[in-house]
Chains A and B, each alone.
Chain A
C-alpha cells in the first residue's frame, strides 16, 4: 500500500514538473508581454519594466529562477494586479469556487440519487420516463445556458433572486443549480441503472422472501450496493465542478478563479498563468489520486495488480 502511494506521488511530482516546464516555454513563445497596450508606452519605460520583472534575461535563466522559486513554493507577484501575490489571488478566487462547488456537489448527489431511485422504482412507468427525459436534458444542455435561463426567468422575470453577486445567502441558489444540473443528471442515470441491476439480484429476492419491509430492503440492501458507482464518480466530479465553474461564475458575476485564468493569458500575466495552471493541475491530480486510493481500499483486486507491477 505504501509503495502504491509513493509511486502515485512520484508520478504526480513528475507530471507537475513537466507541466510547469511546458507551460513556461509555451507561454513565453506566444507574442506579447504584460506591458502591451493599444497605446504603446515609450521604449525606455518598457525596458525599465522588463528589467524589473527579469524579462530582459535569457529565457533559460528566467526558467531557472521561476523553477527555483516554485521549489520554495513562491508563486511570485501578479504582473497586472499590483501589490497582489499570485497566492492571494488564488486564495480569494478559489474560496468562491470552492463554496459554490461544495453546495453544487451536495445538491447534485442528493438530487441525482433521489431521481435515480424514483426512476428505478417506477421502472418503465411514467415517472421513469419523465426522470430519464430530465436527465437527458440535464446532460445535454450546457451549464451556461442553464445559468442564463435561470437568471432570466427567476431573476429578471419573477424577481425571486438577485441577478448576480454573492451578497445574500439566496444568491447561492441559482449558480448552485446551474452547476449541479449536469452532474445530477449523470448521477441519476448511474443510480437508476445500478439500482435496476441490484433490485433483480438474488439477495434482494431473499430479503423479500424473509418478509423485510420495502423500506429496509431499499435503504439497507439495495441502495448501499447501487450507490458504489456513484461514489467512484464523486472524485472526478468534484474536480470538474470546482475547476469548471468559469462560465457560470461569469454569468452570475462571481469573482471566482475561472475568470483570472482567461484574463491572465490575455494580459500575459506570466506569474499568474503559471500559478493558476499549476494550481488546477494539483487539484485535478489530487482528485485522481484520492479516487485511486479509494478504489484501492474498496476493491482488493487493485491492490493486487499494483503489487504485481511493482
Chain B
C-alpha cells in the first residue's frame, strides 16, 4: 500500500524532469523555420540537406559542392548557366570578344549588393585579384588556379614575378570590365558562373572573418544570408536588391546539415525536407529500388557529366602490356554493374568524355560515339593470352584492386573482381583504403588497379581531355604520350570549334586505344523532390540550381 505513494512520488519526479527537458533553451532559428509549410502557395521555403557544414562561404576559397550549393544562391557572376548548361547573361548584360579570342569586354547591368551598394566592374577586378593574392587570409586559395586563364594570374599567384597590376583584369569604368587571357579559351564565358569568379563586396578587405558569419556576408545574388547556426542550419531569404527579384519566387531556402542518409530520407518522408538525395545529400543505395516504385512521382534520376572509372598502373606488370589492359576493360559487362549493383540509372561508359558536355552543335558524346571497344569476352581472353606471352608469363599473380572506403565502391569492386575472375580466370584481391592513404598511394602510382571519379569543371571536353596529359597532376596512370600532349596543346591553341572538336576526337581515340583506364559508367544523380516544386534543377555537371524555383500546389 505504502509502495504506491512512493511510486507516485517517483512518477511526479519523472514528470518534472520531462517538463524541465521540455523547457530547454529554444534556438532562435525556430521562429523562422516554421514558414517551411506555412506560406502561400507560391512563396514556400525550399528545404534541403547539405549533409555537412560548408568549409567556407568565401567564393575565393570554396572548392566543394556543399559550399557551392549555398554560394550559388548568394552570388551571381558575370554569366549564369541554364538547365542545359548554356551561358546566359548574369551581372554582365552583354560582352564583346576580340578577334583573337584573348580579350573579353564585359558590359555590366545595373545591379546592387544586398546592402544597396552598386555592383561595379571594380568589384570583379578586386575579387579576382583577391582570390589570386598569395597572402590571402586565412590561407591562399586552393582554387586560385581556376583563374590561371587570365594573363599573368599564375605568375602573380605563385610569386613568379608579375605584380598585381599586371594581372589581366581591369575595370575600364564602373560598368566595363576588360579581361585579357593567356590564350583563346572558348569556354571562358561558362567559367564566369563558377564560384572562384564570383564577386565579393569590397568591405571584406577590412574584416578577415567576414565569411564566417551570416551578418557580415553581403551578397549580390538572388538570395541573402538570414541565419547560420554552425553545424546545424543555414537560411537564405530573397535579396530585395537583386536586379531580377521578380524572378525569385521562393520565400527562402533552408539548408540542414544532417550527415546520415537514412535520417535525411526519414526527414523527407515526414515532410521536414522538400528535397533528398544528390547533389549534397544521398539516397541510401538499398532504398533506391523501393523508392522508385513507392514514390514514383517524386523520384528523379539525371545523368550528369561525371565519370566512374578504374585507373590501371601502366608502370607496373602486368598492366605495362597494352593487350592485357585491353583485355581487362573488355572482360566486363557494364550493364550488369549499372542494372544490378549501382541501380541509379547510370550509363555504361566506353569513352573518356561523359554525356552532357557541349560539342560543336550538340553534345560532344552524341557527335562522337564512345565505341572505342566492345565487351567481347572471347576476344578478351585471346588478348590476355597474347599479352601474357609478350610478358613471358604463364600465370598472372592475383591483381590488387584498391578503392577508398565506401559501400558503393566496395559493391562495384566486388562485381568487377567477380567478372574478371569468371571471364579471364584471374584472381582479384579487393582492398579498401582510408581516403588520405588511398590518394597518396594513387598519386605515387603505388597500386595496380585503383578507383577514380571525375566531374566536369566547365562545359567543354577539355575538362576531361587534359586530365591525361603527361604533366597533369591528376593523370595517376603513368600514361605519357607525346602525341597526346601535342594534340591537347593544339586544341588549347585552336579557336575554331569544329577543328577543336576534331582534335578532341583524335585525342580521345588515341587515349582510349592505349586503355590506361577502364571506364565503368557515367554517373547519374538520384533525388526525391516534393510535388509542387518547379523550376529547381540539377544541371549538366550535377550542381543544383534553386534560384528560379517556385511552388505551385
Residues of A within 8 A of B (CB): 30-33, 35-46, 48-49, 52-53, 77, 80-84, 92-93, 99, 103, 106-107, 110-111, 114, 121, 148, 151-152, 155-156, 159, 162-170, 172-173, 176, 213-215, 218-219, 250-253, 255, 259, 263, 266, 268
Contacts and interface: CB of A to CB of B under 8 A. Distances in A.
Contacts of A156: 266, 269-270
Given A31-B440, A42-B473, A82-B212, A251 B260 contact: yes
Shortest 6 CB-CB contacts between residues of A and residues of B: A32-B436, A255-B231, A253-B258, A31-B440, A83-B212, A40-B473
A211 B268 CA distance: 62
B139 A83 contact: no
Contacts of A30: 434, 436-437
B435 A32 contact: yes
Given A31-B437, A82-B61, A159-B270, A106 B17 contact: yes
A82 B157 contact: no
B268 to A, nearest CB: 9
12 contacts: A36-B435, A38-B454, A39-B454, A41-B143, A81-B56, A103-B24, A121-B3, A151-B266, A164-B267, A250-B263, A251-B262, A255-B231
Contacts of A40: 443, 473-474
Contacts, number: 184
Contacts of A266: 434-436
Contacts of A255: 53, 229-232, 257
Contacts of A151: 263, 266
Nearest to A93: B231
A37 B63 contact: yes
Contacts of B287: none
Interface residues of B, number: 71
B210 to A, nearest CB: 8
A32 B259 contact: no
B13 interface: yes
B53 A32 contact: no
Contacts of A33: 436
B52 interface: yes
Given A83-B211, A162-B270, 13 more contacts: A32-B439, A32-B440, A38-B454, A40-B473, A40-B474, A41-B473, A48-B134, A99-B24, A151-B263, A164-B258, A250-B259, A253-B257, A255-B257
B142 A45 contact: yes
Interface centre among A33, A38, A155, A219 (most CB of B within 10 A): A38
A39 B232 contact: no
A45 B158 contact: yes
B7 to A, nearest CB: 8
B225 to A, nearest CB: 15
A186 B145 CA distance: 57
A218 B6 contact: yes
A253 B260 contact: yes
A299 B203 CA distance: 64
A155 B260 contact: no
Interface stretch (B27-35, B38-46, B237-245, B318-326): B27-35
Interface string B294-338: 000000000000000000000000000000000000000000000
B263 A252 contact: yes
A195 to B, nearest CB: 13
Given A42-B473, A81-B55, A110-B13, A164 B263 contact: yes
Given A77-B138, A172-B21, A163 B263 contact: yes
Interface string B464-493: 000000000110000000000000000000
A170 B473 CA distance: 51
Contacts of A152: 266
A152 B287 CA distance: 15
Interface centre among A77, A103, A218, A253 (most CB of B within 10 A): A253
Contact of B21 (A53, A114, A155, A169): A169
B103 to A, nearest CB: 25
Given A32-B437, A110-B10, A253 B256 contact: yes
B209 interface: yes
A168 B256 contact: no
Contacts of B452: 38
